[in-house]
Structure 1
């Protein structure tokens, strides 16, 4: 398996189809460097194309999940964008931002579900990252902040676009404008995370169990559910229903359906082919 400067991929249990994608710069509190924005989409694509992978758990090494964008990276981007021509400088900066946005959006483009397991700090770019994930859980010690306004910038990697549909427009506006710190418990109350666990070890154990449960289901049904839910955000009810009808007309009649029905009738666990 390919190695990365800022990430580590681990299969914690042999023969498991749950793979762990770990932000691996603990000495920098897993701040997102320019290398991360190269590594991350490559790693996700590799996991997506690997038939042995059914579910991906995203977590952070060390004491914190992610402290946001690496400040040195912001300085580097600014320096590289400076030139004598304001137009060309701005065009270059826009391309760099779009490239970084695409790295985060790679989570949604990955067919396999991506579950965020958050402990400690989840700041700025960390929020961009988790809002793109399909499910989010955290430990009791987790804390969050949409920090960009305190750095005199507008959050531009997806938080302002994705968070309102998760926690509501008014809550997203308040959190983004104040940049205040909020706890894992408040994140649960807001709907940002689905569950809060008492410790990181409990988080890791239970999230792996949840991921294994999803991985045991039909991969056609799981990847299809993710795809339809994501597409439905952009559609009216009628358009969404039409889209899923078209999806199922192509995917519904499958060996997975036959196996699921057979397993239910004979009261056994289904066994699905890899995708």
Structure 2
């Protein structure tokens, strides 16, 4: 695996990649260089034939991520970058919009990754931590997790993805407004109750073990089937039923011709474990 400045990437099992946000001394808080590198990591893994499932976690014992590095943002953020370029409000607004769009695109790379992403959260998981985790396909947390949609506490509406994705993830709009308007902290059991996470484990190590168990299970299956299922589920979430059915038909008119179908069926008859070609 390639070496990165702000992320640790290794292969704990065949066809499984583990990505760790690696700035534990700052509670894995993000600044611009980090979210640009996050996109580089996930764009690379998305196209790697050696990867079929990805685990995303935070290094250290205290936090998945505390969110945006507010100190760095106050010194080198978009307002500072746009200062002095123009006194025209509209032109400043265009520059800020472009910055936000780039930021959104970097975080969305987790969602757009062709491979399923399992997000493991522990400790502090504020702000950007929710933006990132709502892009993941499966979410797991430890009992010590502290979630918060924190942006209103710094005078902003969350703008990198949580307000767009969280209502679709949990489907309980009253609860989404509750946590988003108040910025209150909530824990793993509440997250499990509303469907934000699939599992709550005793500690980070147990949560990572559960993620690896799931990732191994996904990596053993046909990559054509798994990646197709992710694509079709995401399309169904964002489109009308009729459009989704039509898209599924077109998608599978190609996918059904894969040799993986025959291999999977024969292995079921013979009670053997199928092996699938790299994709």
TM-score normalised to the size of structure 2? 0.95
Q: Which residue of 2 aligns with 1:70?
A: 69
Match of 1:118 among 116, 121, 131: 121
Aligned CA-pair RMSD: 1.0
C-alpha separation between the residues in 1 aligned to 2:202 and 2:136? 22
> 1:272 offset after TM fit, Å?
0.6
Q: How many residues align?
A: 273
Note if 1:177 corresponds to 2:177.
no
Equivalence map 1:128-207=2 (5 Å)? 128-167=131-170, 168-207=172-211
Partner Cα separation in structure 1 for residue 256 and residue 180 of structure 2 = 41
Gaps of 5+ in 2: none
After TM superposition, give the deviation of residue 266 of structure 1 in Å: 0.3
**Displacement, 1:271?**
0.6
Which residues of structure 1 form unaligned runs of 5+? none
CA contact (8 A) 1:122 1:145 kept: yes
Q: Which runs of 4+ in 1 moved over 3 A?
A: none
* Other-structure match for 1:79: 80
**1:165-210 Cα distance to aligned partner (Å, 9 max, x none):** 1122211111100000000111100111001011111111121011
Counterpart contact for 1:81–1:90, Cα < 8 Å: no
Partner of 2:50 in structure 1?
Answer: 52
Partner residue of 2:16? Answer: 18
CA distance in 2, matches of 1:108, 1:210: 18
The structure 2 residue matched to 1:265, chosen from 240, 252, 269, is 269
DSSP-derived class of the 2:12 partner: coil
User: How many Å separate the matches in 1 of 2:120 and 2:64?
Assistant: 8
Is 2:241 aligned against 1:237? yes
Residue by residue over 1:83-129, the C-alpha shift from the partner in whole angstroms, topping out at 9 and shown as x without a partner, is: 32322222111111100000011112110001101111110011000
Q: TM-score, normalised by structure 1?
A: 0.97
